[in-house]
Amino acid sequence: MATHGMWELAYLMDRLFGDTLYLLPFKTSICRRQMLFLRNMSRKRRYFTIFCNLCVFCYTLFCFAILCKPFFVKNPQADPLALKPSEAVRVVRIYVQVLVGFLPSSFLGMNYVIAFTPIIAEVILGKIADFQNETQDLTEARTANNYAVVELGMKLMLWVTFIIIGPVVILAVYFQIDPLHVLMEGNFYRNKILIILFRSIIALLVAFSVMAAINSFFIVGLMVVCATNDMLRDLRESNLRHDLIRRYQEIHLCRKLFLWNKYTNQNFCSFSVPPLIFFGISVIVLAYFGSIRIWGKVSLLLYLVLPTICLFGTCFVLMMIPQAARVVEFSEHLISSRINGGNTSKFERRTWKSMRPLGIQYVASTSCLSPLIEKFAVSLSTQNWMASTSFEDKS
């Protein structure tokens, strides 16, 4: 289940990145087990959140543009009076540009949700508590699984990303290995103090916005997959053969779970999972490669960023991916057990055969549409979801 500790993690994330840095437009209620979108948020805070996430997108494009520049533009003759960086500094700069370009790209889908469609996160997490209560009432299962290790790792990740990222960014700007170091070249060098201040502010905004998106993705993803796995396991292990009413209630609950899963795939997983898989694996490989090759070439605090990325990236692979795979496995076992189970009517068997397994599915996105039509489609699907679930609850 989405345990009390996971809701405490969501509350801590809102307190660090929402109340302190104003980067998350959510408010978590532990007692109600809800993550609510702040609809009465001030206009300045709303625009600041959008601006920070747009900075992440532009910063990522800037990194890729710098990496592609040598392939299309010839290097001009260097100024003989200018200081030339060493070979080690040039290698570290290229490595940082690749890493900074790939890491935000992995979570641009979460940045988009935070900035433009925060209602999606509220809808996805808002039904977990209701589904858990229905499952417990139906199966009479009161034992909750222990995710203490996962919760401890996520809590450590929250504090590490919140405390260490600031000094790391300032040191990167000081040693001129951040992607905006190109602004110190040429005529821009005359305004050195202003350029350094500008680089520091932009880098801090981008870094904290990326950390907010990463923590949001991990916490929301773990809550969804862990809650779904526990509910499917309880339903599969329950004995409802001799209770016709409860069997129909189980079918009704599974249909709502399928509708909830479909909404999640269409409005979040379809555009956030593919870049996470491609760029996320690339970031982990780059982090392991850099932790071996860059030892001794940068300061210790900057170097510790790479083992930290390796640690949390590996934890993501070991925790999130197996849990997500179990969703498909448990749902397939539940459907097959109900289809082949005894004392099942013809109507029930046909209904179970019409259901598809739950899980993360890549749905063709509406990227070919204009942004206005895409926003309208997301809004319409959100309203349809909320209306359908309220109708089913009343029935």
pLDDT tens digits, 96-147: 888 899 999 999 999 999 999 999 988 998 888 888 888 888 887 666 677 8
Mean pLDDT, rounded, of the chain: 81
Q: What whole-number distance in Å separates Cα of residue 329 and Cα of residue 203?
A: 42
pLDDT at 58: 94
* Residue at 31 is within a domain: no
Whole-model pTM: value is 0.84
Q: What whole-number distance in Å separates Cα of residue 4 and Cα of residue 317?
A: 23
Domain containing 284 equals 49-71+85-381
* Residue at 122 is within a domain: yes
* Residue at 228 is within a domain: yes
pLDDT at 388: 46
Q: How buried is residue 15: exposed, middle or buried, by Cβ count under 10 Å (0-12/13-18/19+)?
A: middle
* Residue at 155 is within a domain: yes
Q: How confident is the model at residue 240 (pLDDT cuts 50, 70, 90)?
A: low
Helix (H, G, I), strand (E, B) or coil at 142: coil
* Residue at 218 is within a domain: yes
Helix (H, G, I), strand (E, B) or coil at 289: helix
Is residue 257's pLDDT more than 60? Answer: yes
* Residue at 28 is within a domain: no
pLDDT at 212: 94
Per DSSP, the chain holds a count of helices (H) and strands (E) of: 15, 2
Q: What is the mean pLDDT of residues 358-365?
A: 64
Is residue 387's pLDDT more than 60? Answer: no
* Residue at 174 is within a domain: yes
Domain count, the chain: 1
Is residue 393's pLDDT more than 90? Answer: no
For the chain, the farthest-separated pair of C-alpha atoms sits apart, in whole angstroms, at 89
**Residues near 101 by Cβ (< 8 Å), separated by ≥ 6?**
60, 63, 64, 67, 179
pLDDT at 76: 56
* Residue at 268 is within a domain: yes
**189-201 b/e with 16+ CB inside 10 Å = b?**
eeeeeebbeebbe
pLDDT digits (tens, 9 = 90+) for 75-89: 655 555 445 566 677
